Amino acid sequence: MKQFEPLQQRINNFLAKQLTTSSKSDSRLKEAMAYSLLSGGKRVRPLLVYATSESVGVDITTADYMSAAIEMIHAYSLIHDDLPAMDNDELRRGQPTNHIAFDEPTAILAGDALQSLAFETLCLTPEPPELIVKAVKVLAQASGLAGMAGGQSLDLISEHQSTDIEQLQNIHAAKTGAILKSCVTLPLVFSLNTSTTDKENLILFAEHLGIAFQIVDDILDVTQDTETLGKPAHSDTKNNKSTYPELLGLTGAEEKASFHIKEATGLLDTISGNTDQLKAVTDLIINRNH
């Protein structure tokens, strides 16, 4: 983890700056936004943006804006995911969830405002306007009906119902995988010299990584305790959600995760740019314990 601390500090500082400059006045809403956005975490999504940007020659300053926008979308999704109408969780990263620390209406508005701030931030990227428009479209699609929001809807519908492995993979490809994939596809928007083959292989890498990420998440939910996770353990079971361990068994889920990890890392070996940092971030994501 120590090797990532400079980048984690960099994105933390950048996020704080963007939130401060978004409105000159302080408010309860702004405090609620900061509570979730600046609460720490591993920042794996920004790290994935920085690592991809390095491998395809995108400037780190441009990566700051992409990283911040994606992390704002992620923070908003966690606030809404924890709401009583969704997963009804009271603990996130070892702290009370947003609607517990503040109140439900404030939490809803904090999520809404973070989503808006994400696109405002992405629009400020110091790149040509025509590329920014493309980047906005990529993030919007990853966040909306065909991505995270649509996946969350499918996830809610699937509760208390029998789900097969193909359906489960489709749910999580949208709910979790789409935003994770955008950490790779957004830098590709600003990378004008990357070959088509490298772009295609990086996108495939992101897809395999997204599947592995969710399988590991499901495994941690049933193998770790609440204190380690920083959120309620066995929450998927509580909410009657289908998971990879439930459908495949713990050993089967671990084997499936290993397959997708092997596929993802193998694809990185085909990329012409420097993928050392991408491999390190992949290792961090897969070997996390919470």
What local confidence, expressed as pLDDT, does residue 230 receive?
65
pLDDT band at 55 (very low <50, low <70, confident <90, very high): very high
Cα 257 to Cα 26: distance, rounded to the nearest angstrom = 44
* pLDDT tops 90 at residue 201: yes
* pLDDT tops 70 at residue 228: no
Q: What is the mean pLDDT of residues 250-260?
A: 93
* pLDDT tops 80 at residue 234: no
Cα 174 to Cα 151: distance, rounded to the nearest angstrom = 5
Task: Count CA atoms closer than 13 A to 237's CA, side-chain side.
Answer: 10
* pLDDT tops 70 at residue 14: yes
What local confidence, expressed as pLDDT, does residue 47 receive?
97
For 73, residues 6+ apart whose C-beta sits below 8 A from its C-beta are 114, 115, 118, 139, 142, 143, 148, 179
Out of 175-179, 240-244, 249-253, least confident range: 240-244
* pLDDT tops 90 at residue 38: yes
pLDDT band at 161 (very low <50, low <70, confident <90, very high): confident
* pLDDT tops 70 at residue 193: yes
Residue in the structure block whose two tokens are 């939910």: 221
* pLDDT tops 90 at residue 156: no
41 vs 138: which has the higher pLDDT: 138
Residues of the chain above pLDDT 90, percent:
74
Residue 189 CA to its chain's centroid (Å): 18
* pLDDT tops 70 at residue 233: no
Q: What is the mean pLDDT of residues 256-263?
A: 94
Q: Give the fold, CATH level 3, of 2-286.
A: Farnesyl Diphosphate Synthase (1.10.600)
Predicted confidence (pLDDT) per residue in 56-113, tens digit? 999 999 999 999 999 999 999 999 999 999 989 999 988 999 999 999 999 999 999 9
